């Protein structure tokens, strides 16, 4: 399927009214995103990448995302993700209110958890041999701490942070080569969650339960902070906590 710029692809069994509503929702999100991209081409590719991720395409690699948006190569998307200048944190701040506005609910759950991305090289930022829940073993991977928010209306990712092992934060040259700021210090996963949860709550987080596994539940200052905020929370702990 080839599309001109601005068109949106839908599965064949989607009703016309559903398609129209989808177009309106997507346009509203793209307008919020647009302020972070000064060049028209970058704005279009940002919207196209989002449409590709939300499309019914089974495998969402660069070539397939390009194809569903009517492009013959993924080079435009690769330029956006790898070389174009834009602020990911500012973009998150622009679109997060939209997500909470539509998905916020009193029975929602904020999850503190990490996930891994398996790697086989040596140059991906934060890549190291470490415990990976994704693989179920110690393996070479990147780890990120995430704060997803789930409600009966849907799910949205509020915060994220790459977890850097000390072998990275102790090697300034390696960090520079991977584009990691020199001032980035080592922080444990609970410390990263603690840093990011403050931003999420400052953004006007609707009432929610907070859940987390043992690595977060055993971090005393993190537990005390949630208690002080009045958020109901369920955090796993061991007999040592």
Count of other CB atoms within 10 angstroms of residue 192: 23
**pLDDT digits (tens), the chain, 241 positions:** 444 444 545 454 555 566 677 788 888 888 889 889 989 999 999 999 998 988 888 888 999 999 988 999 999 999 999 889 899 999 998 988 888 888 888 889 999 998 888 888 777 899 999 888 777 889 899 999 999 999 999 998 889 999 999 999 999 999 988 888 878 899 999 999 888 877 777 767 777 789 998 889 988 888 888 888 877 889 998 776 5
Q: How many domains does the chain have?
A: 2
Q: From 50, 66, 82, give the residue that closes a domain.
A: 82
Residue 3 lies in a domain: no
Residue 11, in any domain of the structure:
no
The closest alpha carbon to 71, from 47, 35, 37, belongs to 47
CA angle 38, 43, 46 (to 5 degrees): 130
H or E segment to which residue 29 belongs: helix 16-34
Contact between 51 and 33 under an 8 Å Cβ cutoff? The reply is no
Could you say which of 37, 56, 82 is where a domain stops?
82
**pTM (predicted TM-score):** 0.78
- Please give the residue range of the domain that contains residue 42: 16-82
Residue with tokens 């009214």: 17
* Residue-level length of the chain: 241
pLDDT score recorded for residue 163: 93
Residues 6+ apart with CB under 8 A from 234: 209, 210, 211
Are residues 135 and 36 part of one domain?
no
Q: How confident is the model at residue 19, as a pLDDT? A: 60
E runs forming strands in 67-225: 108-118, 128-132, 137-151, 154-163, 208-212
Cβ(217)–Cβ(239) below 8 Å: no
Q: Determine the Cα–Cα distance for residues 64 and 194; give it in Å rounded to an integer.
A: 37
Final residue in a domain of this structure, among 82, 98, 120: 82
Same domain as 123, residue 228: yes
- Inside any domain, residue 9: no
Residues 75 and 103 in one domain: no
**Amino acid 14: pLDDT:** 52
Which pLDDT belongs to residue 186? 93
Query: So what's the pLDDT on residue 183?
Result: 82
* Together in a domain, 143 and 217: yes
- Cross-strand bridge partners of residue 110: 149, 210
Q: Are the CB atoms for 217 and 211 separated by under 8 Å?
A: no
42/147 same-domain check: no
Residues 212, 93 share a domain = yes
Contact 143, 114 (CB under 8 A): yes
d(CA 144, CA 49): 21
161 and 189 in a common domain:
yes
Is residue 10 domain-resident? no
- Structure letter (DSSP) for residue 202: H
User: Which residue reads 């070539």 in tokens?
Assistant: 63
The 3-state secondary structure of 112-130 reads: EEEEEEECCCCCCCCCEEE
Q: Is residue 133 part of a domain?
A: yes
The encoded tokens of residue 149 equal 């928010």
Q: Are residues 45 and 116 in the same domain?
A: no
Consecutive H or E run containing 233: strand 233-235
Q: Which of 202, 205, 187 is nearest to 111 (CA)?
A: 205
Please report the sign of the dihedral spanned by the C-alpha atoms of residue 176, residue 91, residue 114, residue 212.
Answer: positive
Give the per-residue pLDDT at 1.
Answer: 40
């Amino acid at each position: 399927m080839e599309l001109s710029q601005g068109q949106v692809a839908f599965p064949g069994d989607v009703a016309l009214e559903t398609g129209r509503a989808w177009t309106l929702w997507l346009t509203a999100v793209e307008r919020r995103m647009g302020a972070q991209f000064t060049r028209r081409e970058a704005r279009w590719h940002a919207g196209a990448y989002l449409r590709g991720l939300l499309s019914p395409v089974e495998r969402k690699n660069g070539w397939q995302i390009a194809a569903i948006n009517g492009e013959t190569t993924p080079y435009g998307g690769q330029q956006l993700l790898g070389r174009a200048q834009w602020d990911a944190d500012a973009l998150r701040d622009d679109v997060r209110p939209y997500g909470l506005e539509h998905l916020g609910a009193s029975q929602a759950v904020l999850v503190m958890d990490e996930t891994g991305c398996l790697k086989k090289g040596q140059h991906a930022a934060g890549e190291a041999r470490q415990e990976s829940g994704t693989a179920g073993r110690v393996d070479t991977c990147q780890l990120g701490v995430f704060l997803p928010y789930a409600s009966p209306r849907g799910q949205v990712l509020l915060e994220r942070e790459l977890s850097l092992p000390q072998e990275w934060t102790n090697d300034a040259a390696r960090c520079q080569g991977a584009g990691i700021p020199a001032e980035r210090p080592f922080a444990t996963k609970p410390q990263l969650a603690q840093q990011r949860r403050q931003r999420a709550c400052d953004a006007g987080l609707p009432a929610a339960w907070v859940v987390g596994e043992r690595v977060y539940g055993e971090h005393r200052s993190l537990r005390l902070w949630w208690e002080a905020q009045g958020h109901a929370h369920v955090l796993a702990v061991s007999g040592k906590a």
